[in-house]
A and B are shown apart, each in its own frame.
Chain A
Amino acid sequence: MEKNSTLRSPRTLLALLVAVAIVVAALLVVLSQLGGGGGSVDDAGEFYSGIPQDGTTLGEKDAPVTVYLYEDFQCPFCGKFSREMFPDLVDDYVRDGDVKLVSETMAFLGPDSVTAARAALAAGEQNHFWPYSTLLFENQGDENSGYVTDDFLRGLAEDTPGLDVQKWEDQRAGNSFTKELKAVQGKAQAAGVNSTPTLIFKGPGGQAKIDRLTDYDQISSAIDKVDGS
């Protein structure tokens, strides 16, 4: 009788209820920290935080060395470069202001390359080109398999931290970025770029070009060479 009334006491029930509430809330907090659609999306926000972005340029304006990246969003090697070497390039050189990166977005592999490039350039109008392009490469599908759909691009826009998706849609609809894409084509021709990814390094010590990228050390030595110091 006594035991039964203790169990049914409102105080016991309330204490139990508070404990359950704390456990449920803690579980929600843990799940919220884990969430975000996997590692890649988490990185896009945190990875670029603190690095200046201006259109298709990433890094400090007065960085001594500039690296021009000629890439096509559908090119598998560009995807591999973006996933495997690009993070180190940013961490080792861009974050502390030694190097700035300029993306020279090419779109020559097929119509989907053009669509993807336009979407990224539209994100660039809001200075979110880089996280958006990272997401494009992280979620890269097979070349010309038709994976670059409006839903796909919109999903990436929604996953791009800080991007105003509605504004991005408007910019994408209002500008086909033909002029920008043509300008890159011209620059690529002038620089003799005929494959992607091609990296062109310019600095006080001169100029270097990598068109057969196999190793991160190639990038380090090219930067050291053009840095001149």
Chain B
Amino acid sequence: MAPKVRVRRRYTAPRTVLLVLAVLGTLISAYLTWTHFAGLTPVCTGSGEGCQTVQSSRYASVLGIPVALLGLIAYGGLIFSTALWRETGIYLGLLISLVGTLFSAYLTYLEIFVIGALCQWCLASAAIMLAALVCATLAAMPLLRGR
């Protein structure tokens, strides 16, 4: 009889890294959400026009919800997932980071090919989300191997 593999520790290495990434992402999206509602221009290196152009584009909101706020919700969900025990947390983390990465890829595509401007904060968030997906996948590996 094969031993049943359980993730006994809440914070394996990938999940710890995932938590750190989620906190970083939360800070970035909180900042962008704040600038959105306060009507400010995000601090951007270079001329700073990239962030302004991207944040004032028609793609900056989905159904009136700022994309930055969606990011904040996603990163909050990731933090929550790392606090959950065992499989549930792992599956939730994987689901959120996969949706986040797919949507970030689409947003980055928009920045480059449609809006024609790059926003460093958005790119940083996309990179963090991708790294979070890698961590969430690594965290889910023991579940797969267990069968």
Q: A11-B144, A31-B63, A164-B49 are in contact. Are A158 and B103 (CB under 8 A)?
A: no
Q: A28-B103, A32-B62, A165-B56 are in contact. Are A17 and B146 (CB under 8 A)?
A: no
Residues on B with C-beta less than 8 A from A163 are 56
Q: How large is the interface on A (under 10, 10 to 19, 20 to 34, 35 or more residues)?
A: 20 to 34
In the complex, whether B94 has a CB less than 8 A from a CB of chain A is yes
Q: Which of B58-108 contact A (CB under 8 A)?
A: 58-59, 61-64, 67, 70, 87, 91, 94-95, 98-99, 102-103, 106
In the complex, whether B12 has a CB less than 8 A from a CB of chain A is no
- Bound-state CA distance A11–B141 (Å) is 11
| Chain A interface main SS type | helix
In whole Å, how far is A149's beta carbon from the nearest beta carbon of chain B?
A: 15
The 9 closest A-B pairs by CB, nearest first: A36-B58, A25-B102, A21-B98, A10-B143, A21-B99, A24-B99, A31-B62, A32-B62, A166-B41
Interface contact B147-A165, CB-CB below 8 Å: no
In the complex, whether B16 has a CB less than 8 A from a CB of chain A is no
Interface contact B52-A18, CB-CB below 8 Å: no
Residues on B with C-beta less than 8 A from A161 are 53, 56-58
In the complex, whether B1 has a CB less than 8 A from a CB of chain A is no
In the complex, whether B140 has a CB less than 8 A from a CB of chain A is yes
- Bound-state CA distance A164–B35 (Å) is 13
Residues on A with C-beta less than 8 A from B2 are none
- Bound-state CA distance A139–B91 (Å) is 46
Q: A10-B144, A25-B102, A29-B106 are in contact. Are A17 and B94 (CB under 8 A)?
A: yes
In whole Å, how far is B94's beta carbon from the nearest beta carbon of chain A?
A: 6
Against B, the Cβ 8 Å flags (1 = close, 0 = not) of A118-160 are: 0000000000000000000000000000000000001000111
Residues on B with C-beta less than 8 A from A24 are 99
Residues of chain B at the chain A interface (Cβ within 8 Å): 39-41, 49, 52-53, 56-59, 61-64, 67, 70, 87, 91, 94-95, 98-99, 102-103, 106, 140, 143-144, 146-147
Residues on B with C-beta less than 8 A from A45 are 57-58
- Bound-state CA distance A13–B143 (Å) is 10
Q: A32-B62, A35-B62, A160-B56 are in contact. Are A18 and B98 (CB under 8 A)?
A: yes
Residues on B with C-beta less than 8 A from A162 are 53, 56
- Bound-state CA distance A45–B114 (Å) is 11
Interface contact A17-B95, CB-CB below 8 Å: yes
